[in-house]
Structure 1
Amino acid sequence: MAHAQLLISYGQAFVAPERRKHRSSMSVLLPEQPVLKVKGGCAVISDSLSRNTMAKQAGDLSVRGFLADYYSTPEHWEVKTSATRVLRALNSWCYSQSQHVKEGSFVSSMSIMVFRGRDSHLFHMGDTLVFRLRGAEFEQLTRDHVTDLGGYRYPSRALGMDGSVDIDYTQLPLKQGDLFLFTTQAVRGTLLPSDYVRLIRQDASDLDAACERLANEAKQRAQERGYGGEQFCFQLLRIDELPEEDLERPGQLYGDLPIPPELAPGDRLDGLEVQAVLSRTAQSRVYRVRDVRNEREMVLKAPSPELSLRNAYLEHFLLQQWVVERIKSPFVVKVMEPSRPRRYLYYLMQHVEGETLREWAKRHPQASLVQRLDIANQLGKAVQALHRRDVLHQQITPDNVLIDPHGQVLLTDFSACHLREMDGYRQSSELLRQIGFNEHTAPEYALGNAVGRRSDQYALASTVYWLLTDALPYALTPNHLRSHTDLESLSYRSARTTNPEITPALDDALRRALDPQRALRFRRLSEFQHALRVPLGRTPAAAEPRGESRRFWQGVAGILLLLLVLSWLLR
């Protein structure tokens, strides 16, 4: 006998003079099994401010961004964990992008419902509306977060409005036949609860037609009352069938995906043949593998077999893959999709033919300052790509930087990467402490102080200092600090004493980025990158001629003035 599964029908309707000018966006995504069982189906609606010149872009981006990132989260995460992490990351991105836009913003109200098993999960920010029709009961499930200013109602809480966001969360049990209606504040003052029930129940078998009836009636009522009647949207979902209670829970990660055993060259795992063992550490194993189906070479990373009972690290292990998948940069190694279903806990990355930065420096002792600064600039771009997604790398060292035969730099090893959430980066320090400090680790980690993006700035600058001088900036490496007294004793060794090609300006930039006090480093990583990039450690070529030219013409002006005075006196 076939087991029942979650079945959902939906319909939609827009009222707009031109769809491309609509400030609202909505979508329903019902994936195939087994994704529907594990992650559920999603219904999303987003609505931007009426006076926002970027309203359409903001609405569309928030909907597409959520759906793409939610279904990329690790399979074992709960719905609440996955959605809130995605929304916080999306909020940070929208907020930061709005700071660079002269007109308009990426601010939008948003409501999301995730339907998994026999429950629904509602996430809400701002003033979009979600209603439930169960039998004859019509109930609003969301709260209106609005502020009245000068006769206009503005969202008081919305995606992208601030650097952090408060998300309303509600878990609701489902019943077969439940109807959920998604709409926006534009409908306020048009339809009554009895109108919604009447128009939906008139023929609930065709949900698109029901949405059209709602849209037409709302438009007509708005026009009768002198409202703007050109910005309505309705999305209606019906729960047609629910799974049996004992079937809706997804499989347990650690039971379904065991940690791979110790592997050696020639061994096979899920159709991947081990070519070489690249690394064995207390936390993980890294292998170069070849897919026997398509001959593609990749790098496989798996937890260390002895970690099978340490679930806290395994939780972070799967976070690594999700974090790296979010980073789109030519300077950061990419995650690869396996050609077969995984039977063990691991993830795959692109294989890069090349060498580590340490190996490159050893083979190129005569490399010029310009060559070394080019590598430093590429590495800076990699770190900046992570920071744009609110990710700390925390282990920037010469051994975690690859250089391919064309001189392209790729940042690797995400064992200690950490994503900022509501706690900021407070858990980052403890994570790195478990993995282990190194000679490029910022001092605040060893002292238990707060960490952040400037901690990565320190590690980047320390790696660049080493690349330019083959030395370290301090006699006492920060990872050996025991107290704040030790911190005060750190004395920066000028990079110019080892490499005279380094200009005073570049040395000052390194000194500042390597300041033992985190607050005294560059406020933004881009400021340090500017010091490395312009003009690659030299005074701009155009500056000197301008200075000489200015002095020349000042001299000519002085002589002409003297001749003018003499001619006046000799009259």
Structure 2
Amino acid sequence: MSLPLSVSIGSTTNKGIKPINQDYIDYCVPKEPLLSTKGIVLAIADGISSSQVSQIASETAVTNFLTDYYCTADTWSVKSAGQTVLKSINSWLHAQTLDSPNRFDKNKGYVCTFSALILKSNTAHIFHSGDSRIYRLVGDSLEQLTEDHRLHVSDDVSYLTRALGIDKTLPIDYSTVAVEQGDLFILATDGVFEFIDGRRISTIVSNKETLNEAAADIVVEAMAAGSDDNLSIQLVSVNSIPDYQLDEVHQLTQLPMPPLLAPRMHFDGYEILRELYVSSRSHVFLAKDLVSHSNVVIKTPSMDMRNDEQYLEHFMLEQWVAKRINNPHVAKAITPNRKQNFVYLVSEYIEGVSLNQWMFDNPNPSLEQVRTVIEQVVKGVQAFHRQEMIHQDLRPQNIMIDSNNTVKIIDFGSTYIAGVSYVEHEQVLRGTMRYSAPEYFLGEWGTSASDIFSIAVITYQMLSGEFPYKTDIAQARSISAQRKLTYRSIINADSELPLWVDDTLQRALQVEPKNRYKVLSEFIYDLRHPSKQFLAKGRAPLIERKPVVFWQGVSALLMCIIIGLLLSR
């Protein structure tokens, strides 16, 4: 009988003689099915001492890697999943530095080294950037499995050539080694490995009952040997490994395509209840989980797209996006507690109507009703933006309102994730034309301002039943054509809306992205309050507001002029 992958882990971290600990370590040993499909993850990060915020970078890198890696699709290889997650984390850290007062000084930014060890089946997968190290203990010697990314200028001067958060793009070292029962792997920062050798580590490990005790003793000895830095170490001993080799080749054919689904059909532990939506790209069904008896939504690739590798990459990326976001206004991804045998996505079933249907049922909503809906949409979109993601397909069909009047965003197939290369290099129009921001029609990348534009279009449509630029915006595919676009005021002779609401919408719907709101919170605030800009430009002249004061002032001015003329004679 084949034994499952089993390990023992010991770890410790200490600030040493430093005032704070800028190292961060963590690990995860999941239960099945994740143990087989994703493996065991250990990660370590070391902040740079010149930065006062790099401990935030270290903690963010490790915690987000452990969380987001397990959210990736089962059909992704370890390499693809790990690299995708790290690129996203790197992009977020780099963006924080650019938004900080130290945006021109990388040595004071959100920067850290990073090393991760993923044990899956009988293979160790290594991801590395910086000068933290991963070793394998061979006898009483340390076999270094990573390469330091540090340039030594002199005996006293050196600097990192690669680390998370330094640049927008991140080259990542990736390698694999075969794992055997009894192997001992070590993840350590320079505060440890520069002050203790393999022979001593081997002796300590063999003389201690647990790896936690061994890790603590190694740190104590490194400090006694003169370590002048933070000290962190993780030890992982392989107790048993499966006797089979999982296919680690990155191909979506790892899992077969599902059969054509139909009502009453039993499929992979679900009963298909009815068809919800069918398009040339995907098929969506309402199904019942035969184990939990809860209703879920199952989405499968359409027959036409099953051989399109780029589409399938996006399809599985959608599941990862949904798992990363935990927000009441974003549809949840469902993770079955059993092995998945086909390529498909599972998400929560929202009992309710789409915003598109709600608008049809409520053709003349009050301003307060519109605010209530849009404020919830914004809360959901903010969850995307906080993780450096842009939805890119915000439209009434992708917004649901459940039986409790809670608004939820669905469908993440067009979502842009900063740092994920194969999304960045696609110059395709995302979203639906009537709701897409003008920059998309020029072939430009979307930003958070693009989502703001789409939300403003939806708000405009809810209040008027029309669109701010009609269909002209989809036809304006050059800068000169877009400059001719004219915003249509939502205010007409029969309108009861305040003038400042139209001013708010006009700002959010500017053709030029830099002229829109910078953040969604400003837009939402201005939907309830006249902005300072509106009050400034909307203020009536003094002669209209206070005519008596105006003429008194004019009289006083004339008197001063007359007195001045008399005195000059």
TM range (shorter): 0.7 to 0.9
Match of 1:269 in 2: 267
Counterpart-to-counterpart distance in 2, 1:423 and 1:36: 27
Match of 1:313 in 2: 311
Q: Deviations over 1:303-327 (max 9, x none)?
A: 2244333333222212111101111
Does structure 2 retain, via aligned residues, the 8 Å contact 1:426–1:451? no
2:135 corresponds to which of 131, 136, 156: 131
Q: Does 1:408 align with 2:410?
A: no
Match of 2:202 in 1: 200
Match of 2:559 in 1: none
- Given the superposition, is the C-alpha separation of residues 148 and 52 from structure 1 closer, same or farther in structure 2, using an over 3 Å criterion? farther
With 411-420 and 103-112 compared, the bigger mean Cα shift is at 103-112
1:442 corresponds to which of 427, 434, 437: 437
Does structure 1 retain, via aligned residues, the 8 Å contact 2:139–2:202? no
Counterpart-to-counterpart distance in 2, 1:20 and 1:300: 52
| Structure 1: unaligned runs, 5 residues or longer | 562-571
2:219 corresponds to which of 215, 219, 230: 215
Match of 2:462 in 1: 467
Counterpart-to-counterpart distance in 2, 1:303 and 1:491: 40
1:528 corresponds to which of 518, 523, 531: 523
Query: In structure 2, the residue corresponding to 1:181 is in which secondary structure?
Result: strand
Please state how far the C-alpha of 1:73 moved relative to its aligned partner.
0.9
Aligned length in residues? 552
Match of 1:345 in 2: 343
Match of 1:566 in 2: none
Please state how far the C-alpha of 1:112 moved relative to its aligned partner.
0.9
Query: In structure 2, the residue corresponding to 1:235 is in which secondary structure?
Result: strand
2:451 corresponds to which of 447, 450, 456: 456
- Given the superposition, is the C-alpha separation of residues 494 and 425 from structure 1 closer, same or farther in structure 2, using an over 3 Å criterion? farther
Match of 1:112 in 2: 116
Q: 1:140-539, aligned counterparts within 5 Å?
A: 140=144, 141-145=146-150, 157-160=162-165, 164-174=169-179, 178-187=183-192, 190-191=195-196, 195-201=197-203, 204=206, 206=208, 207-208=211-212, 210-222=214-226, 228=228, 231-239=230-238, 246-247=245-246, 249=248, 253-254=252-253, 256-264=255-263, 266-338=264-336, 341-423=339-421, 426-427=424-425, 429-430=427-428, 432=430, 437-481=432-476, 483-484=478-479, 486-497=481-492, 500-535=495-530
Query: In structure 1, the residue corresponding to 2:331 is in which secondary structure?
Result: coil
Q: Deviations over 1:122-144 (max 9, x none)?
A: 22233323334335653442314
Counterpart-to-counterpart distance in 1, 2:201 and 2:403: 66
Please state how far the C-alpha of 1:538 moved relative to its aligned partner.
12
Please state how far the C-alpha of 1:471 moved relative to its aligned partner.
0.7
Q: Deviations over 1:5-41 (max 9, x none)?
A: 6554443344568999644332343445553443232
Counterpart-to-counterpart distance in 2, 1:203 and 1:393: 49
Query: In structure 1, the residue corresponding to 2:369 is in which secondary structure?
Result: helix
- Given the superposition, is the C-alpha separation of residues 126 and 529 from structure 1 closer, same or farther in structure 2, using an over 3 Å criterion? farther
Q: Does 1:73 align with 2:79?
A: no
Does structure 2 retain, via aligned residues, the 8 Å contact 1:29–1:43? yes
Query: In structure 2, the residue corresponding to 1:121 is in which secondary structure?
Result: strand
With 377-386 and 111-120 compared, the bigger mean Cα shift is at 111-120
Normalised to the residue count of structure 2, the TM-score between the two structures is: 0.80
Please state how far the C-alpha of 1:397 moved relative to its aligned partner.
1.3
Q: Using CA pairs below 8 Å that are at least 6 residues apart, which structure has the higher relative contact order?
A: 2
Q: 1:87-106, aligned counterparts within 5 Å?
A: 87-95=86-94
Normalised to the residue count of structure 1, the TM-score between the two structures is: 0.80
C-alpha RMSD over aligned residues: 4.5
Counterpart-to-counterpart distance in 2, 1:228 and 1:374: 56
Does structure 1 retain, via aligned residues, the 8 Å contact 2:192–2:233? no
- Given the superposition, is the C-alpha separation of residues 22 and 454 from structure 1 closer, same or farther in structure 2, using an over 3 Å criterion? closer
Does structure 2 retain, via aligned residues, the 8 Å contact 1:506–1:537? no
Does structure 2 retain, via aligned residues, the 8 Å contact 1:7–1:240? yes
Query: In structure 2, the residue corresponding to 1:496 is in which secondary structure?
Result: coil
Residue type at the aligned position of 2:77: E
Please state how far the C-alpha of 1:82 moved relative to its aligned partner.
0.9
Match of 1:29 in 2: 28
Please state how far the C-alpha of 1:74 moved relative to its aligned partner.
0.8
- Given the superposition, is the C-alpha separation of residues 343 and 37 from structure 1 closer, same or farther in structure 2, using an over 3 Å criterion? closer
Does structure 1 retain, via aligned residues, the 8 Å contact 2:280–2:302? yes
